[in-house]
Amino acid sequence: TEYVYRFGGGVSEGGQDKNLLGGKGANLDGMAGIGLPVPPGFTISTAMCTRYYEEGERFPDELRPQVTLGLHHIETVTGKKFGNPADPLLVSVRSGARVSMPGMMDTVLNLGLNDATVEGLAAVSNDARFAWDSYRRFVQMYADVVLGLDHGSFEEALDVAKEDRGYTLDTELEADDLRALVAEYKSLVEKLWGKPFPQDVHDQLWGAVGAVFGSWQSERAKVYRRINSIPGDWGTAVNVQAMVFGNMGETSATGVAFTRNPSTGERAYYGEFLINAQGEDVVAGIRTPQYLTKSAREAARAKPASMEEALPETYTELARVFDLLETHYRDMQDIEFTVQQGKLWMLQTRSGKRTAKAALKIAVDMAEEGLITRDEAVARVDPSALDQLLHPTLDPAAIRDVIVTGLPASPGAASGAAVFDSATAENRAALGEPVILIRTETSPEDISGMHAAKGILTARGGMTSHAAVVARGMGRPCVSGAGGLSIDAKARTAKAGGRTINEGDLITIDGSSGEVMAGHVATVQPELAGDFATLMVWADGVRRMRVRANAETPEDARVAREFGAEGIGLCRTEHMFFDAARISAVREMILAENEAGRRVALAKLLPEQRKDFAELFEVMAGLPVTIRLLDPPLHEFLPHEDAEFETVAAAAGVPIETLKRRAAELHEFNPMLGHRGCRLGVTFPEIYEMQARAIFEAALMLDVAPVPEIMIPLVATKRELELMKAVVDKAAEAVFAEAGRRIEYLVGTMIELPRAALRAGEIAEAAQFFSFGTNDLTQTTLGVSRDDAARFLGAYVDQGIYARDPFVSIDVEGVGELVQLAADRGRATRPDIKLGICGEHGGDPSSIAFCEQVGLDYVSASPYRVPIARLAAAQSAL
Ligand code: ADP
Ligand code: MG
Ligand code: MG
């Protein structure tokens, strides 16, 4: 079997296959294929990672000759030999999974140095300092990444070396200092590891390859995979590549860049670089990086020359490469490059992570530039990410008490309690408290804490620091590099400008301006014009399913329409009953001894209900409105606290004993499965009669009458629906006779009990529409109460019993099968039956894709999720 694929020097063997080569390897192969300057190398495929674990973390024999051939390729192209003391080849060993996992895996640079080759490198480069510095970095990295030794001891040794000589910067260390430091490092390795530092370059290589495979199962990689739903059996590839050096003087540099602004989406090269630096110096935030373009430097009023100014020819070359890459990959690219003595080398490219705002702008711009089609633009934007845009930003008029300002690393505003470590962030967030995680800089170990936090604030690091990249990916607001902040993580305080933030203090960060403010700052609703509107129009053009909203108040209905809802899929009438002005009439009805008494109370509710519906119909202006008749058990409307009984009894004009007796009578052991839904209508038909009357009277008040869709909840049998439909029809006839005018209306049912799904064929004889109430259908199918599931559902998801929370994303296999079956049986009886979904799932992209498969007519989601549903419905139709 072929496990090794070569690239560079005119070769690209891997066919850009991400599954095989991992993302990094596939793109190195791709860049080499289009003739870009890529240091030669080879990729050991992900299949080998899987095999390595299958064989008990051993390399199969057939791998060795293939790696030898790979090395030979690098040697041929570079003209250097691995392990040759006269002119040594150095390589990097880099991980790369199918999807990028930033900072999750480990990389070793400068591999191939030992006591002999370091002298050769010094001689060939004519730079002993460079050679010894490279060796020093290599020993330190190898000890950390491959041998797993505590890096603290090495940093300490470095600090001591500088202190002894009175230096402050690493760069002040001279060749002899570094030579001495290497000796010290090597003795540290021997002390901590028990064996001398490996001098055999092949041992070094195999050790590093094993470490990359090993890092696939590291804790932080596992956490990242869990958060991002990446399967554990994909494995990582290993890339072995000739080193190029950004640390060979003033015409050498290393940098990272985006072909467009990843924060705003603006079409401008965007990036940071450092002169005379190697590898991850830029991202690690050790030195403050310089801007790529002159205009960005000027905008930031920064002094150090931009790359455009300092290395103009290389910059021009880089700009040309950016354009080639965008044309080739047809997407915004995130790039790593190194300049060795004026010569540009490309080390990585991938589709860049971006904010939702940038994703929208880039998709729309690229479609307009003709780089991608409109359908592709629609497919490119993650519907869930729209959430970031649909949520509030800081009110420009609000007073901001700014404590410190950093870089606007990931947009959006967030308020919460200040916390200084990830564990506290997780603990407090688990109790429902919003928190802002404050760190000097973040590392991959912080990933769970960052996920738990509402926002992230760091004192160090640029716009491409770990914190910034990860926060943008997660959609968390982030302010990075707030240099004025001095953090004492032990004391759990941060100081800036004479002020102190203690753990638990409420602060607000604005990831769009970089401001950090004391207290909670008011927010405003987002702007929905521009690129958002454009993309939505394109999405609406391809979508088949309609999108409605779950809304009952006129305000919610208005928001829903602004977000593009095409009707109301669920108006829950009980919400109208809780209104303070009406609850007493509701209670009077519940407390009435007989039907006559109930009718007196219901007559008081009728005009109120009519008003509710009239307002709703007006806002919806002729769009369909599905109204669900009363659903919850009646005791929900009675007081729960002893203290309330007295006032309620007085208000209702009944003795407190009567109230208590009635409450006791209505008490249920399992209200979810109790006297609710159409069971109320069967026992107290006058309630549904009043509601139906209110609906028809309201509809008749409008010039253009809507077509009300009256929905009967919790139906299990055809007979129930027939009885309730008769109540509704009778009310309709009465109202129409009084008005001397008829309107059209539909009567249908929720499908939210397994029996209803199974008997959908006959239920459809009485129902003009079905709306899948997947919240209750999930509860009743799984036998899991949503309100009690929190205690065990986490363990269920962790252990793979359910792939995801079935209340968030529909359980396609179980609940989904019932939906499919009910849809099929319903359509067999009544081919034009209207089918929709009104559970929480109606706003969940993967559930929406399922609804498209079943061929539902519409999904209904909460107002803020309507745009997400529109985009998800469009994508599922593509
Ligand atoms: P990550 O996946 O964490 O970004 P990489 O494999 O990209 O890890 O390596 C990190 C950094 O090391 C790169 O950004 C690059 O600057 C440097 N690097 C990797 N390989 C080489 C190489 N062959 N020559 C020079 N620098 C390299
Ligand atoms: Mg890394
Ligand atoms: Mg990288």
Q: What CA–CA distance (Å, rounded) separates 47 from 4? A: 10
Q: What is the CATH number of domain 398-524?
A: 3.50.30.10
Give the phi and the psi of residue 134 in degrees, each rounded to 5.
-65, -40
Asked whether 860 lines ligand 1 (CB < 6 A), one says no
Residue nearest to atom 1 of ligand 1 (CA): 103
**Tokens 């539902």, residue located:** 856
* Cα–ligand 1 centroid distance for 237 (angstroms): 14
Catalytic positions: 466, 838
ipTM: 0.96
* Cα–ligand 3 centroid distance for 60 (angstroms): 28
Q: Which atom of ligand 1 is nearest to the CA of 96?
A: 2
Q: How buried is 779 (Cβ within 10 angstroms: 0-12 exposed, 13-18 middle, 19+ buried)?
A: buried
339 forms beta bridges with 253, 344
For domain 543-633+668-877, give the fold: TIM Barrel (3.20.20)
410-459 pLDDT, tens digit each: 888 999 999 999 999 999 998 889 999 999 988 877 888 998 999 999 99
The per-residue DSSP string of 567-606 comes to SEEEEETHHHHTSTTTHHHHHHHHH-SSHHHHHHHHHHHH
Under 8 Å between Cβ of 144 and 151: yes
Residue 44, pLDDT score: 98
Asked whether 388 lines ligand 1 (CB < 6 A), one says no
**Tokens 């599905």, residue located:** 626
* Cα–ligand 1 centroid distance for 94 (angstroms): 7
Residue 583, pLDDT score: 84
Q: Which residues of the chain have pLDDT under 50?
A: none
Token pair for residue 354?
A: 């971006």
Q: Which CATH number fits domain 253-354: 1.20.1740.10, 3.40.50.720, 1.10.287.1080, 3.30.470.20?
A: 3.30.470.20
Q: Which helix (H) or strand (E) holds 763?
A: helix 760-763
Residue 725, pLDDT score: 98
Residue 267, pLDDT score: 93
Asked whether 8 lines ligand 1 (CB < 6 A), one says no
181-215 pLDDT, tens digit each: 999 999 999 999 999 999 999 999 999 999 999 88
Sheet architecture: strand order including 506-510: 402-405, 515-518, 506-510, 413-419, 435-439, 455-458, 478-480, 407-410
Residue 475, pLDDT score: 67
Average pLDDT, the chain: 92
Token pair for residue 515?
A: 């401001």
Measure Cα distances from 544 to 539, 616, 832, 871 in Å.
10, 26, 16, 11
236 forms beta bridges with 97
**Tokens 């309107």, residue located:** 743
Residues whose Cβ atom is located within 5 A of ion ligand 3: 336, 348
Residue 654, pLDDT score: 84
Asked whether 573 lines ligand 1 (CB < 6 A), one says no
Where helices occur in 301-421 by DSSP H, the ranges are: 307-310, 312-329, 356-369, 374-380, 387-390
Token pair for residue 776?
A: 């209750």
Sheet architecture: strand order including 11-12: 11-12, 4-8, 41-44, 236-242, 91-97, 108-111
709 forms beta bridges with 626, 746
User: Residue ranges per domain, the chain?
Assistant: 253-354, 398-524, 543-633+668-877
Under 8 Å between Cβ of 628 and 572: yes
Q: What CA–CA distance (Å, rounded) separates 134 from 5? A: 27
- Measured at the alpha carbon of residue 730, what is the angle toward residues 725 and 734, in degrees to the nearest 5? 150
